[in-house]
Amino acid sequence: MPLGRRRRPKFDPSAYDSIISGVKTIYKDKVRPLEEQYMVKDFHYPLLTDDDFDAKPMVLLIGSYSVGKTSFVEYLLDRDYPGMHIGPEPTTDRFQAIMHGAEERELPGHTLVSAASGPFRELSQFGNAFLQRFMGCEVPSDFAKGCTLIDTPGILAGRKQTDDRHYSYEEIIKWFAPRVDMILLMFDANKIDIADEMKRVIQHLEGYDDKIRVVLNKADCLDPADLLKVNSALTWALARILKAPEVRRIYVGSFWKEPLQPSYLGELFERESTALLADMSSLPRNNTTAKLNDLVYRTRMVRVQALVLHTLRAEMPKMTGKDKKQRELIAGLEEIFLKVSKTYNIPTGDFPDVAKFRHTLATSEACRDFTKFKKLDEKLMQQLDAIIRDQVGALMSEFEAIPSPDFAAVPSVVTAGTAAVQPASPPVRDTPPPSRPADPWAASAPPAAPPYAG
């Protein structure tokens, strides 16, 4: 029987370059100077660098050993890659970043974190024990042009295996979680037991639910009755770990380069594969959406930050009694927020968490003397409305003019034991494309965790 090629994500990674360049220019010229003046880094999140804008979308693969992570990467790239090992025993014993390059080559972890630019420099904080188990590679693959893949060591059961690593697997996952655009939790349909370390890793992903995709791999090896039981068991197990009210979507199939095994569920597996790959095809667009939304979010936040610090400074006495007054202002911070909201017509939803803000005011060395806060820069503040109204509005119009990736247009294929299947429509994205705001300060709701927070 003739065998067709399996589908792969298709996207144009350069389609959004001009928009991201525009976002970077606006941020560096207009927003970051205000963030520096008004101590946004001390109160909220790190300032952005060129690396944050230039980095390609990243996908993090997590799962037990021999679940099929490396085979899935091989399938996406349509080729093997340096450092790849596949087998029934634990084979991938390191974190590996798979990136695009004109020629195939390996890059040691120390080289990646020492580069003048790149998304991995902060990983140096985890020391030599981790860097010896971190490597990268470059491959001439079309998929890698638009997306960086992070393969991870298979999670093992047992304390001895985790102790032998000499670095914290969970801390590394926590570092990657806010920086990647998609997290694939992969499970083997033949063994879905979730080890204790796997449970802890999943729990560390709390707050990034919109990035998580659950994949039940090697499902074509089961008959329909067994597959139904396995899928139900996995759904139940994840519901106990991922505290979310809705049922978790699980992509079911066999995600590797080989044709599917003959199965009555062949059509289902093809549709599931199409849905997952359509989701991945949207990565560059969703990445651009996140950067646009983050720019608006940061612009709104720095405006509130500047006005709150300005108000605190104005409330301070000129001569004596400064310490007492500062304590009173910190205790009555809710009143300060309310005053700023009414005076400057700022929605209460734009204000940060009052408890965290109060803690920073009380403990940060930078907040020891409120009279040292920067005066309100009226000129820069006046530019903020124009940024959202004109510059970001123009970028949003350009963004909306770019067609969404049409993965469903990929020709149908035939796999072993299945008939030709019409591709499923791409699923609704978790983050919709931004629309032109109705007023200068209207924007998408801020993310639960800022995209570049460490």
Strand order in the sheet with 134-139: 105-108, 134-139, 95-100, 148-151, 58-63, 182-188, 212-217, 250-252
CATH of domain 57-282: 3.40.50.300
CB atoms under 10 Å from CB of 178, counted, come to: 17
- Collapse the DSSP code of 425 into the 3-class scheme (helix H, G, I; strand E, B; otherwise coil) and give the result: coil
Tokens of 436: 């032109």
Instruction: Summarize the confidence of residues 132-139 as an average pLDDT.
Output: 94
Extended strands (E) in 225-329: 250-252
Dihedral of the alpha carbons of 383, 388, 394, 399, in degrees to the nearest 10: 140
* pLDDT exceeds cutoff 60 at 422: no
Q: 436 φ, ψ to 5°?
A: -65, 125
pTM assigned to the model: 0.72
**How far is CA 279 from its chain centroid?**
14
Chain mean pLDDT for the chain:
82
pLDDT at 420: 31
pLDDT for residue 267: 82
Residue 24 predicted with pLDDT over 50: yes
- Encode 383-393: b = buried (16+ Cβ within 10 Å), e = exposed: bbeebbeebbe
In the chain, the percentage of residues whose pLDDT exceeds 90 is 46
**Neighbouring-strand partners of residue 333:** none
pLDDT of 354 higher than 50: yes
Cβ proximity of 79 and 138 under 8 Å: no
Q: Which residue matches tokens 């207009």? A: 30
Domain boundaries defined on the chain: 57-282
HSE toward the beta carbon, residue 411, CA cutoff 13 A: 5
Question: Across-strand partners of 151?
Answer: 96
> In this predicted structure, what is the pLDDT of residue 451?
40
Specify which residues 275 forms β-bridges with: none
* Nearest-angstrom CA–CA distance, 217 and 85: 18
Top pLDDT among 85 and 67 is at: 67
83: left (phi over 0), alpha (psi -120 to 50) or beta: left
Instruction: List C-alpha distances in Å: 307 to 38, 39, 61, 322.
Output: 9, 12, 42, 20
**If you search the block for the tokens 């074509």, which residue do you land on?**
220
Check if the beta carbon of residue 47 is closer than 8 Å to that of residue 138. no
DSSP 8-state class, residue 98: E
Q: Predicted confidence band at 408 (pLDDT cuts at 50, 70, 90)?
A: very low
Average pLDDT over every residue of 397-423: 53
| Beta carbons within 8 Å of 367's beta carbon, 6+ residues apart | 39, 42, 360, 361
**Within 13 Å and on the Cβ side, how many CA atoms surround 96?**
22
Residues 165-208: tens digit of each pLDDT: 778 999 999 999 988 999 999 999 988 888 888 999 999 898 88
Q: What is the pLDDT of residue 155?
A: 85
